[in-house]
Amino acid sequence: MRGIRFFALAALLGARPALSQATAPDLPFRIPVLVYHLIGEKDSRWGRSRDGLRRDLELLYERGYRPITVSQLVDRQFDIPAGTSPVVITFDDASPGQFSYIEQNGLLEIDPNSGVGIWLAFSRAHPDWRDRATFCLLPGASAGHAFFGDKGIDGQKTEWRLRKVRFLAEQGFELCNHTLWHARLNKYSDAVVQEQVARGLLAIDSAVAGYRVRTFALPLGLWPTNHALALTGRWTDPHSGRAVEYRFDAILEVTGALSGTPYGPGFNPRSIHRTQVIGENLRTLLDEIEPHRFRPR
């Protein structure tokens, strides 16, 4: 299995100019769509500290936000309490820090200091904060970015991977494809692009058979040369002869301005921009959205 130098690629992204947001400024509503990458000890260019994540959830809750998945956003399915507003929270790259197990006497417990552990503690304490977030998965990238850790990286065993993915689906979280190993899709042929996407889907299917993946997150926000292949395509496994066809309902980009995703008649589910939560920018984002805040009921 090929690996990638994930962090080197991620660093490159920092050098790219911010994508201009394809928004219509006169749209009436804005919805925060957030993205987290690494969850760890400290904030970093691509990481959120555990305490930062806890504070983010508290802040969103206090401000009257409740989570929905990307698919729910696309379907306009706002199953949140009356008077509250939707927030979409996404977790990219399937690192061990997002979801780790602790093994004790042969039993597996979710590490309360991993992203999922922090989330579950919060949702238990706040019953109207449901387990609704979107995890954009990598099954086979390097540095443990393989369904939340493999090969003993950060104490995570390879054989725990599918169980983690299944757990997320059973809880009601959404599983999203992020390719097989985070390939820069603008660098590859149409055939390789479709293979990367299809192999990501096959891996999710091996964890949750029959799961319909509706959301695709572009690695590093890079579109394939043939844009249409991010949305729909086909690939046949040369070994098994199994054909995989895909068609996504939502495409996630990486960057977004501090204005929130425009929501209304011009909402484009095939280019959803997200805001990476860093420092105190969540508070700023919510302040900016406030005049355009969406309350479904």
Chain residues binding Zn ion by CB under 5 A are 92-93
Nearer to Zn ion, 92 or 195 (CB): 92
Please state the closest distance from residue 290 (CB atom) to Zn ion, in A: 30
Measure the CA–CA gap between 149 and 156, rounded to whole angstroms: 5
Cβ-count burial 203-224 (b if 16+ within 10 Å, e if not): bbeebbeeeebbbbbbbbbbbb
Please state the closest distance from residue 255 (CB atom) to Zn ion, in A: 12
258, burial (CB in 10 Å: exposed 0-12, middle 13-18, buried 19+): middle
Nearer to Zn ion, 65 or 181 (CB): 181
User: 3-state class of 177 per DSSP?
Assistant: strand
Nearer to Zn ion, 92 or 111 (CB): 92
Please state the closest distance from residue 178 (CB atom) to Zn ion, in A: 6
Nearer to Zn ion, 66 or 182 (CB): 182
Please state the closest distance from residue 219 (CB atom) to Zn ion, in A: 5
Please state the closest distance from residue 179 (CB atom) to Zn ion, in A: 9
Nearest to 154 by CA among 180, 118, 115: 115
Name the closest residue to Zn ion (Cβ). Answer: 92
Helix (H) or strand (E) holding 262: strand 261-263
Q: Rounded to a whole number, what is the distance in angstroms from the first to the last CA of the chain?
A: 48
Nearer to Zn ion, 93 or 111 (CB): 93
183 and 199 Cβ atoms separated by less than 8 Å: no
